[in-house]
C-alpha cells in the first residue's frame, strides 16, 4: 500500500524486478502557521495561552495546521481570527521552524507570519484558549532584562525564539520595531503556476538569505 485518504486506498507496485521502488513517499510533513500580530500602534503583540496542553500556563502565538487547499497566508489569517476574533493583514513570513518525528511520526514545518491587526477587541475562543491578550513589547523586554531567558518560564518554544528576535530589534530601535522587523521578512509573493513563491524585497538594508530565522527546536 502506498497511502490512504478519507476516500481512497492507493496501492503501488514497482514493475522492474530486483529493483527497489523509486516512487516518492506520500506526505512526509505537517504544515502549520502562526500569526505574530502587531497592534495598530505597532507597540503590542497578540499572545495566547492554550487550554488543553501541558504548557497551558505559557504564552504563544495563535496558530495551527494549514488546511487542505489553503495557503500559509490564508491559514495564518484564519487561525488568528478563529482563536481571538482579531482580523489581521498578512505582512510576510518571519521564518521557519522545522521539527522531526512530530505528529504520526512525520516532520513538521511551522511558519511564524508577521501580521498587522485590523481590529483590537479580543473575542477569545473559550474551548481552546485559557487566555488571549495584547502584550506590550516594552513589558516583555523589561521582564527579559530582569529574568534573563524566558524559556521554560513564560513564553513557549518557537514563540520564545521569535520574541527574542523581536526584542533584539527593539533594543536597537525602540521607535521602529515593526518597520525594522519587516525588513527581515519574506514580504513579497508571486503566484507561479498554482504555487506561491515568497522572497525578500531589497530595502535600504542589505538583506541576506542567512538573516532569516531558522529554528530547529
> Which residue is it, cell 511558519?
111
| DSSP H or E stretch at residue 95 | strand 95-99
Indicate which residue of 74, 82, 126, 128 is catalytic. 82
Per-residue pLDDT 10s for the chain (217 aa) are 766 777 878 787 888 888 887 776 667 668 899 999 999 999 999 999 998 767 778 899 999 989 888 989 999 999 999 999 999 999 999 888 877 777 667 777 889 999 999 999 999 999 989 999 999 998 888 877 666 554 445 777 678 888 888 888 888 888 889 998 888 787 655 555 555 665 555 443 333 333 434 333 3
For position 119, what pLDDT does the model report?
97
89 has catalytic annotation: no
- For the chain, list the domains and their CATH numbers: 29-215 (3.90.79.10)
For position 46, what pLDDT does the model report?
96
Q: What's the rounded Cα separation, in Å, for the pair 145 and 140? A: 9
Residue 108's SS3 state is strand
Name the DSSP class of 7.
S
For position 87, what pLDDT does the model report?
97
For position 196, what pLDDT does the model report?
60
Q: H-type helices in the chain, by residue range?
A: 72-84, 137-147, 157-172, 177-182
For position 205, what pLDDT does the model report?
36
Cβ proximity of 139 and 114 under 8 Å: no
Q: Any idea what the Cα angle at residue 38 is, between residues 179 and 61, rounded to 5°?
A: 125
How would you label 91-121 residue by residue, b for 16+ Cβ within 10 Å and e otherwise? bbbbbebebeeeeeebebbbbbbbbebeeee
Paired with 31 in beta bridges are 109
Amino acid at each position: 500500500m502506498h497511502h490512504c485518504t478519507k476516500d481512497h486506498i492507493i496501492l503501488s507496485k514497482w514493475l522492474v524486478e530486483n529493483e527497489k521502488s523509486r516512487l516518492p513517499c506520500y506526505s512526509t510533513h505537517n504544515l502549520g502557521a502562526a500569526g505574530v500580530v502587531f497592534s495598530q500602534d505597532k507597540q503590542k503583540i497578540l499572545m495566547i495561552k492554550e487550554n488543553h496542553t501541558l504548557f497551558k500556563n505559557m504564552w504563544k502565538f495563535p496558530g495551527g495546521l494549514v488546511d487542505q487547499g489553503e495557503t500559509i497566508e490564508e491559514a495564518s489569517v484564519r487561525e488568528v481570527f478563529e482563536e481571538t476574533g482579531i482580523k489581521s493583514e498578512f505582512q510576510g513570513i518571519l521564518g521557519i521552524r522545522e521539527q522531526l518525528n512530530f505528529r504520526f511520526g512525520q516532520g513538521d514545518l511551522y511558519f511564524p507570519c508577521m501580521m498587522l491587526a485590523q481590529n483590537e477587541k479580543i473575542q477569545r475562543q473559550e474551548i481552546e484558549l485559557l487566555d488571549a491578550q495584547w502584550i506590550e513589547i516594552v513589558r516583555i523586554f523589561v521582564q527579559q532584562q530582569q529574568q534573563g531567558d524566558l524559556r521554560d518560564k513564560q513564553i513557549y518554544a518557537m514563540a520564545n525564539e521569535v520574541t527574542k528576535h523581536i526584542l533584539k530589534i527593539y533594543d536597537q530601535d525602540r521607535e521602529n520595531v515593526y518597520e525594522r522587523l519587516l525588513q527581515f521578512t519574506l514580504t513579497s509573493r508571486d503566484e507561479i503556476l498554482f504555487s506561491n513563491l515568497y522572497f525578500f524585497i531589497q530595502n535600504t538594508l542589505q538583506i541576506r538569505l542567512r538573516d532569516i530565522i531558522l529554528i530547529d527546536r
